[in-house]
Chains A and B, each alone.
Chain A
Amino acid sequence: MSDGAIRPLPIVVVGHVDHGKSTLVGRLLHETGSLPEGQVEAVRESSRRRGMPFEWAFVLDALQAERDQGITIDTTQIRFRTARRPYVIIDAPGHKEFLKNMVTGAARAEAALLVIDAAEGVQEQSRRHGYLLRLLGIPQIAVVVNKMDLVDWSAGRFGQVAEGFRAYLAELGLTPLAFVPVSAREGDNLAAHSPRMPWYQGPTVVQVLDSFEAAPRPVDRPLRMVVQDVYKFDQRRIVAGRIESGRLRVGDEIIFSPSNKVVRVRSIEAWNVPEPPEEAVAGESIGITLSEPIFVERGEIVSHLERAPMETTVFRGRIFWLGERPLEVGNTYTLKLGTSEARVRVEAIERVIDTDDLSGRPADHIARHGAGEVILRADRLLALDPFDANPATGRFVLIEDYLPVGGGIVSMEGYPDQRQLVTRRATNIHAVGHAVTREARIARNGHRGGVLWFTGLSGAGKSTLALALERELFRKGYQVYVLDGDNIRSGLNADLGFSPEDRAENIRRVGEVAALFADAGMIAISAFISPYRADRERARRAAGDGFHEIYIHAPLEVCEQRDPKGLYKKARAGEIPDFTGISSPYEPPENPELVVPTHELSFEESLALLVDYVERHFRA
C-alpha cells in the first residue's frame, strides 16, 4: 500500500567552528524555496536587533545564547526537499566544547557534508569530525569548501585546501564523493552553478546531496533481534523487541544469547493489523510468542542457531570519549549494548589516537574528546558482534554517573567466541559413581590430587619448570604428570589449529583432561600459555577445588630477549599470525594461587618455590 510518505535521507553537516555549516543549511533552504513564510523577515529582525548583518545561521540557531554568541550549541534537524527526494538535514556544532552534540547529530546520518573555511583551511575539528564519521560508520561524505568570497574565488586556494584534506581522509579510508567550492552566505554553487567560479565544473551542493544513496536495510545479514521486554498483559506471553538485521519467520528455530536457550517461534503478534504476520524483517518492532515457556529477559539477542552472535566477557572497543573525567585503566562503567547492560572494567588502553595525524601510542588514560582502543572486561557474559559484521549489535555506549560518557565499536580480533564455555552439547550423560573413594586414593598415594595450571608468555619458563618439577615431585614419591603442547597437540588435539577458537578449544580439552588426572588422585601439571582468562576460569570449574593457577611470570621484553625458539623474531616479522604478546592478547591472572617471577629468581629458586608450594598444599 502506498501512502505517499517518502523517507527523507538524513544528512549531517559537520566541520570546524565558524566555518559556515549553519549558514550553508539556512541558505540552502532559502535557495530551494524550502523556508516557511515569514522566516526571512524573522531572521532579518533577529540579526538587526543584535547589530549583525543578515545571519542565515539563525534559521537553525534558535537558542537565544546561540544567536547572541553566533555559535551553534546543540544539534538541530530541519527538512527540505529537492526534485529527487526529501531530506532531513542535521546541523552539528563545530565548537570542541559541544562535541557530544555533534556525535548526537552525526550518529543518525547516512551521509555527511564536511564544511571547511577556504581562508582558514583545515582545522583541528575538521579532522576530528572526519575521524568520528569514520568511527560512526558513515561512509558517504562530500567536502564543501566555504567562504570562497574571502579568497577571491581562487581556484588555486580551493585546490590547495581540497588536496590537503583529501590526503587526510584517504588515510582514514574515506573517499569524498566531491569537493565543492561555495560561498554559503552569498549562495554560490548551492543550488546553481556560480558565475563567479567558472573554473568549477563539478556538482553543486544540491547535486551532491542527490547523488548520495540511502543505506540499504540489513535484511540479508544474520538475524538479530534485541529483546526489550517480556509482556504478560493477557494470556499471551510476548517477547518484544526490534529486528536489527535479517528476517524471522513463524516456526523458525531461534536461540537467545547469552542465555543459550533454544526454542521455536510460535507466532508473531501485532495489534490492529489486517492479518497476523508470518514474517518480520530488519527495522520492525515486533512481539513473538514461543513454542515453550522458557525464561528469557530483556537484553538478550535472538538469532538463528547458525550465525549466532559471539559470546564473550572481554572485547576490544574503538572508542571516542566525551566524559569530563578521563577514561582510565581500572575504571568501571556501565556498558549499554543493544538492550543489554553490564558493568565493565577498563583492562588496558592499547592506544590513544591523535586525530591530528592519526598516530597512536599506548597510554594510561584517554582525555575528554579523545579517541583510542581499549580492552573492556564485563562482569558477565555478553552477546555481541564485531561492528564490521553487524553494526547494530557491535556498538556500545558507556555510562558514568547517569551520563553517556563515551561510545565505541566492537572488535573481536584475537578474542575467541566463548559460547562453548556455556554450551553443553550432550545432555544425556550421567556422572558415574566411582567404587573407589577420593579418600582411599589420598590414603594410598599420600597426597591429594589436583591441577597445577601454569600460565604465562612464551619464553617465561613454563615447560622447563614443569618438567623439572615433575622430576622432583616424582623423586619425592608423588603421582605426577605433565601435560604440554607436545603430548596433547600430537594426539588428542591433532585436529586443532591456532585460530582464537581452536586455541580456546585446545585449552578446554586440556582442562578436562587435567581434571580427570586430578580426579584419579594424581597431580597434573599443565604448561600452556593459555592467554585468555575465561579459558582458565573454565579449566578451574572443570577441576574444582584442586585447581591451582600458577603464573609463570616474566615481562614481554624479557621473554622476547630470551626467545629460546626464535618465535618472537618470526612473529615480529609477521610470519606467525596471532602470536600471544605480539599480535594477540595475553590476559594475566587476576588472583593466581602462586606467582613465580622468573626474571627475578634463578632457576633453582623458582623450582624450590614450586616444590615448597606443592609440599604445603598436597601432602595428605
Chain B
Amino acid sequence: MSWNYLAELEAESVYVLREAFAKLDRLAVLWSLGKDSNVVLWLCRKAFFGHVPFPVIHIDTGKKFPEMYAFREHYARAWGLELIVEMAPPEEEVDPTLPPAARSAARKTLGLQRALEKHGFEGLILGIRRDEQALRAKERYFSPRTADNRWNMKDQPPEFWNQYMTDFPPGTHVRVHPLLHWTEVDIWRYTKRENIPVIDLYFARDGKRYRSLGDRDITFPVESNARTIDEIIAELETTHIPERAGRAMDHESEDAFERLRATGYM
C-alpha cells in the first residue's frame, strides 16, 4: 500500500475504531447521512474488513432533505447496516431559553439522549472534526459523558500516546471521535480516493451548494460553482469562508454552540 498522509489518517482512525470495538460493550455509530459520517462508516468497514459490526443510528428530525432519506434507505441495504431510526422529539420539549435555531438543533440532542437510554449504549461513534468549530477543536478521541449526557468541557481527562479512556463509571457513556484530526478537504480527498457515495446536495446547482447538511430550516447553501469533488477540493484550498457558515445555530449568540454541546449536542 502506498503510504501518504491520507493513509496515515485512515490508519489512525481505524486504530481508534478498533480500540472502541475492543473495549466498549454496547457500541453504536451515529449516521447523519452527511459526508463525514459516510466516511466514518467507510472507515468502520476498513477496520472490520467489510463489516459494520454494531448498530447504525439515525436521529430523524423529520426535517431532512428528501434526497437524504432516499440515500439512507439505499445504502443501509447496500452496506448491510443494522439501522436504527429514532425520531427526534418535538421542539416544545426542548430548553425554551435557547435561541430559535439552536432550539431546533437541540431536538437532535434530545432524540440522541433518548436513543442512548432506550438501547443502553455505552459507546457512541461520531464523525466530528476539530477544524469544524472551535469547541470541537478541544475534543478528545474518547470523550466521556455524564449520566445525564453532559460534556464536562472544563475538566476533560488527559489523553496521550494513543491511550484512550476506555473504562468509566456505570451509567455514563463515551463519545468516540475517529475523525477528530481530519479536515474538510481531507474528507473530500478520501471520499474521492475511495469512491465513497455522497448526497448530490454537496454539488453546486444554480451557483449554490451545501457544505454542511443539517435540518432543512436551519441550514443554508453557500455560493459555489463546484460541481465535482475535484472542484470542491480546489474551492476549499482557497476559501476563507468557514464550513459551518451556513449553520444558523452557530451564529445566533456567542455561547449558543457551547450550551448545545454542554448538554450533549454532537
Binding site for B on A (CB under 8 A): 1-7, 35-38, 45-46, 49, 60, 62-65, 73-79, 88, 100-101, 103-104, 107-108, 136, 217, 228-229, 231, 233-234, 236, 238, 240-242, 269-273, 277, 280-281, 283-285, 287, 298, 322, 336, 339, 395, 397, 399, 402-404, 407
Spot the interface stretch: B54-62, B114-122, B165-173. Answer: B165-173
Bound together, the chains give a CA A572 to CA B45 distance in angstroms of 60
Alpha-carbon distance A346/B105, docked complex (angstroms): 49
Number of A-B contacts (CB under 8 A): 162
- Evaluate contact between B254 and A242: CB separation under 8 angstroms: no
From A4, A103, A240, contact of B158 by CB (8 A): A103
Partner of B169, one of A65, A284, A402: A402
Could you tell me the distance between the alpha carbons of A591 and B163 in the complex, rounded to whole angstroms? 35
Q: B13-34 interface mask toward A, CB cutoff 8 Å, 1 = contact, 0 = none?
A: 0110011011000000000000
Are B134 and A65 in touch, CB under 8 angstroms? no
Quick one: which of B144-197 are within 8 Å of A by CB? 153-154, 156-161, 163, 165, 167-169, 181, 183, 185-186, 189, 192-194
Q: Which listed residue (A37, A75, A397) contacts B163, Cβ 8 A?
A: A397
- Say yes or no: A273-B189 contact (C-beta < 8 A), given A37-B241, A228-B15: no
B97 in the interface (beta carbon within 8 A): no
Interface centre among B9, B48, B163, B241 (most CB of A within 10 A): B163
Contact indicator B242/A36 (Cβ below 8 Å):
yes
B19: A residues at CB distance < 8 A? 228, 339
The reply to whether A233 and B51 form a contact with Cβ atoms under 8 Å apart is yes
Cβ A37 vs Cβ B240 within 8 A = yes
- Complex contact A4–B160 (CB within 8 A): no
Measured CB to CB, the residues of B under 8 A from A are 1-12, 14-15, 18-19, 21-22, 45-51, 53, 130-131, 134-135, 137-138, 140, 153-154, 156-161, 163, 165, 167-169, 181, 183, 185-186, 189, 192-194, 233, 240-242, 245, 254-255, 258
- Inside 8 A of A108's CB, which chain B residues have their CB? 160
Least CB distance, B10 to chain A, in whole angstroms:
8
- Once the chains bind, are B49 and A3 in contact (CB under 8 Å)? no
Out of A5, A36, A339, A399, which one reaches B5, CB within 8 Å? A5
Q: How far is the CB of A82 from chain B (nearest CB, A)?
A: 15
Complex Cα–Cα for A95 and B169 (A): 28
User: Within the complex, which residue of B14, B18, B134, B168 is in contact with A402, where a contact is CB–CB below 8 Å?
Assistant: B168
CB of A403 within 8 A of CB of B157, answer yes
Say yes or no: A63-B153 contact (C-beta < 8 A), given A336-B163, A404-B158, A404-B165.
Answer: yes
Contacts of B51 in A (CB 8 A): 233
> How far is it, in angstroms, between the C-alpha of A287 and the C-alpha of B48 when the chains are bound?
9
Measured in the bound complex, the distance between the Cα atoms of B46 and A403 in whole Å is 30
Instruction: Tell whether, in the assembled complex, residue A238 and residue B138 are in contact, meaning their CB atoms are under 8 Å apart.
Output: no
B-side contacts of A240, CB under 8 Å = 18, 47
Known: A37-B241, A76-B138, A407-B161. A281 touches B49 (CB 8 A): no
Say yes or no: A63 contacts B138, CB within 8 Å: yes
